[in-house]
Amino acid sequence: MAKNSNHHDVEKQAESIKEPAEQTNVPLPTQKDGNSLKSDDTSVLPERDQWANKLDFVVSCIGFAVGLGNIWRFPYLCYKNGGGAFLIPYFICLICGGVPILFLEISLGQFMRQGGYGVWKICPIFQGIGCATTVIAFLMNSYYIIIIAWAVHYCFSSFTSELPWSHCNNSWNTPNCSTFESGANYTNDSNRVDSVVQFWEKKILNISDGIDNPGGIVWQNAVCLLFVWIVCYFCVWKGVKWTGKVVYFTALFPYLVLTILLIRGVTLDGAIDGITFYLKPDFKKLGDSQVWIDAGTQIFFSYAIALGAMTALGSYNKFHNNCYKDCIIVSLANSSTSLYAGFAIFSVLGFMAKQQGIPVDEVAEKGPGLVFIVYPKAVTQMPVPTLWAILFFVMIFLLGLDSQFVGMESFITVIVDLFPVLRKKWYKETFVAGYVVLSFLIGLSMVTQGGMYVFQLFDYYSASGMTLLWVCFFEAIAIGWVYGGKKYYDNLELMLGFRIDPWFRICWSVMTPVVTFAIFISVWVTFEPLTYNRTYEYPGWAQAIGMCMGFISMICIPLYVPIALFNAKGKTLKQVSISSSFVKLLIFPSKTINIQKAFCNRIKYSSAPFSLS
């Protein structure tokens, strides 16, 4: 730990340093006034962006973390896994894994003043983590926006006096279409298909019979996709100062809509049945390993970690910003929103179940099925259905939108940090435009008649639980063991001005690696090949492509190890301070005095915050 005088000197130099920090292993951008980065040619390139104020950062984090998963995944998992009893494994995984990794990513970005790739210069041998998160972010941004495009399509379709999915008098409906009205008598229900399902599959998706039959582009979805990409472009093209203002509306307005839907939902007949079903505890479920797997994967999904996005957002903070408090605020907002959304969703599902005279579990679904089938069906049974449909899909659009453009910002930050010339006027705007065009072209494969099958491949493999858990495991190992939890605590004290709770260090060193590794192994043990609608089985070649999308990010971490060693100073392993194999270093750390120098850059307390030795 630094002496008080040293600590004072560092703070003083952090405010006044003019010269580039001393470096040994890797070059880092210079720091001025402890908060803005410049390239070596400060006379040509503009300074690195910075949040206009603290609140911009907090709202952006909430906007990105609080997304569609809070609406369509958490309530389903809660009722499926024992209702209120599910909160026990949920909060255990939250405390042991979610919050510690969230704080690690935000603080690391703030400390290093770099995006998801550059921050791992603090531990060069694990810079593959930055490559992995960048790949995941790019793939996720390419497919996540498709959901928003579907929501836009639904929203535009709702501007009618009679919702098109509420009846069977449309051109796409088949003779076996039914509205399944309460009290109606049907001689052969097994052959009938709900009008809501037909609207989803035959109008919105116009779905083909398999991924090997892509068919043509569904032009309505393509236009909606183009519209959403254009909106996202103008949300991020000017950097975080512009994004920080847009996100106030996109992040906060959904709470207003959700509250309106909740108030309406709890006044419906049968709402109490749905809420009871949602929270009724079944403690026997806690003995099922799948419950713990679901809790862990939900935490890492909903907290948007292992994507490089939180690191990118933190990198635009002032150096002495209290990100410790910010992290707690974001965590509370995220988990509270999940619980809050559950009341709004299940109050409506309880009403829907009572209207149809069936149990709640028969109408409760997860994922797109909840957003595009169950809830649209529910609004047809409400007074003034058009109003509630528009409000609901506007909320889905905004919830997805802020997650999308903040995800874009995480990818853009990495590229701009690697190529600072993009900070010049119009250079960044042009680059972002090129990135949007490329992503739009990739997205066109998901708005064809076979696009739903492609979308599911991306969703199931590219940003799945196994990839996120893999990255989180190595993030904890890199800081907790290789760089050193104590050293990082000293760095945080330098940055924050106080020493944080020791629980985080325990998590990075022990709890988080154990939790993430255990869930990762369980995911593989219980792994099942992807299917669509529980009936269509993907061909082997499609499954192989999906697996490659997952492995292309995961392989970055081990692949970068020999690259880091090759680029290290010295002609032999001995000269780069590695006296034995990587396995020996992990098993017998006490025998290798220079492990930190071999694998990490160490922070000098007597110099600028980013001076490395």
Burial (Cβ within 10 Å: 0-12, 13-18, ≥19) of residue 101: buried
**280 pLDDT higher than 60:** yes
The conformational region for residue 396 under phi > 0 = left, psi -120 to 50 = alpha, else beta, is alpha
- End-to-end distance of the chain based on CA atoms, in angstroms? 16
Is 33 labeled as ligand-binding? no
Task: Please tell me whether 302 is known to bind a ligand.
Answer: yes
Residues 115/411, Cβ–Cβ less than 8 Å: no
Interatomic CA distance for residues 323 and 335, integer angstroms: 18
Confidence of residue 309 (pLDDT cuts 50, 70, 90): very high
Residue 308 has pLDDT above 80, yes or no: yes
Asked if the model's pLDDT at residue 282 lies above 90, the reply is: no
Q: What is the mean pLDDT of residues 371-399?
A: 89
63 is in an annotated binding site: yes
40-71: pLDDT as tens digits: 444 456 777 888 888 999 999 999 888 888 88
Distance CA 406, CA 116 (A): 13
Which residue in this structure is represented by tokens 């958490």?
74
- pLDDT tens per residue, range 408-454: 989 999 999 999 898 887 898 999 999 999 999 999 999 999 999 99
- pLDDT value, residue 67: 87
Interval 171-192 mean pLDDT: 72
Residue 402 counted as an annotated binding residue: yes
Burial class of residue 72 in the structure, from the number of CB atoms within 10 Å of its CB (0-12 exposed, 13-18 middle, 19+ buried): buried
Cβ-proximal residues to 124 (8 Å cutoff; 6+ apart), any chain = 25, 26, 564, 567, 568, 599, 600, 601
Q: What is the average per-residue pLDDT within 85-91?
A: 91
Confidence band, pLDDT 50/70/90 cuts, at residue 325 = very high
Pairwise pLDDT comparison (577 vs 249), residue with the higher score: 249
Can you give the pLDDT at residue 594? 39
pTM of the shown model:
0.84
**Ligand-binding site membership of 296 (annotated):** no
Top-confidence residue, 187 or 22: 187
Rounded distance between C-alpha atoms, residue 235 and residue 249, angstroms = 12
pLDDT of residue 44: 57
How confident is the model over 475-499, as pLDDT tens digits? 999 999 999 999 999 999 999 999 9
Question: What pLDDT shows up at residue 574?
Answer: 52
Q: Judge whether 178 is annotated as a binding position.
A: no
Tens digit of pLDDT for each residue in 4-45? 444 444 344 344 333 333 333 333 344 443 333 333 444 456
Q: In the chain, what are the domain boundaries?
A: 56-178+192-575
pLDDT tens digits, residue range 531-588? Answer: 887 789 999 999 999 999 999 999 999 999 988 888 777 555 554 543 333 333 333 3
Average of per-residue pLDDT across 382-389: 91
User: Looking at residue 450, what is its pLDDT?
Assistant: 96
Two tokens, residue 107? 């603080």
SS3 readout for 502-528: CHHHHHHHHHHHHHHHHHHHHHHHCCC
| DSSP state at residue 31 | E
C-alpha to C-alpha distance for 266 and 554, rounded to whole angstroms: 44
Give the pLDDT confidence score for residue 578 in this predicted structure.
38
Number of neighbouring beta carbons within 10 Å of residue 345: 29
56-178+192-575: CATH topology is Amino acid/polyamine transporter I (1.20.1740)
- Higher pLDDT among residues 562 and 3, named by residue: 562
Predicted confidence (pLDDT) at residue 592 exceeds the cutoff of 50 = no
Residue 91 pLDDT exceeds 90: yes
* Structure-model confidence comparison of residues 535 and 239, the more confident one: 535
pLDDT on residue 69: 84
Higher pLDDT, 173 or 12: 173
CB 348 within 8 Å of CB 271: yes
pLDDT tops 50 at residue 357: yes
514 known member of a binding site = no
Of the given ranges (212-216, 232-236, 239-243, 561-565), which has the lowest mean pLDDT? 239-243
Average pLDDT, the chain: 83
Whether 309 has a binding-site annotation, put simply, is: no
Question: Is 270 flagged in the annotation as binding?
Answer: no
Amino acid at 156: F
